[in-house]
Amino acid sequence: MYKVLIVEDDPMVAMINEQYIGRNKKFCVSGKCKDGKSALEFLENNMVDLLILDVFMPYMDGFETLRQIRKKQISVDVIMVTAANDRESLEEALHLGIVDYLVKPFTFDRFSMALDKFIAQTNALKELGTLSQKSIDFIIDNARKKSEDMHPKGIQEKTLHLIMEHLKENRNSWLTGDAIAEKVGLTGVTVRRYMNYLAESGKVIGEMNYETGGRPCMIYRIAE
């Protein structure tokens, strides 16, 4: 069973994270900390496999906490959860070697995908001894594919690809869900479900259009 430390200053979010983790029998919560400083103290005295790390916290934020973890060479994988959805924050997190990056608010399905990604990468490394370039390439490529293929229930890869291809062909235009549905041959309800998922994962940008002359509607375009 994988041991998890939750580092989150918001008690409600920490409770939700704990509940999500509790739904996966391969994980257990070893502790909860409200800031980076107490998290470092916990990690220096307890072994855990995975850190669920918030960014905006008192005393020491998530990025500084992660920098200190790497500096102290504490062996732990990290899933970062944050309200920060800017490119600079994501780049910083990637440079510090995170497993995944979740933007609040996130769904259970997306959280579960992050846990599955952690398991896939951990198992791939455990199964190999001395790493050749071929095996290294396999691990990295396989992790990327797993990340891309891990979609929530009700999201199919072929349908997702169909919608994304249409968005790419019209990358300079804002499209309504109904317009997308008509072109790709899906129902409006189905397209809205996929667009919500794509917007949540950062692959498309959605905005509310109030200039319709009637009821406002969402419009979308692919994220650059």
Q: Is pLDDT at 149 greater than 80 in this prediction?
A: no
Residues in the chain: 224
For the chain, percent of residues with pLDDT exceeding 70: 85
The CA-atom distances, in angstroms, between 210 and each of 67, 146, 179, 217, 220 are: 44, 38, 17, 7, 14
Q: Where are the domains of the chain?
A: 2-120, 157-222
**Whole-structure pTM over 0.85, yes or no?**
no
- Banded pLDDT at 176 (limits 50, 70, 90): very high
Average confidence score pLDDT of the chain: 85
- Banded pLDDT at 141 (limits 50, 70, 90): low
Domain 157-222 has what CATH class? mainly alpha
pLDDT in tens, 98-136: 989 888 888 888 898 889 888 877 776 665 556 666 666
CATH of domain 2-120: 3.40.50.2300
> Which residues, in sequence order, are CB contacts of 42 under 8 Å at separation 6+?
5, 31, 33
Which of these, 188, 166, 167, 189, lies nearest to 178 by C-alpha position?
Answer: 188
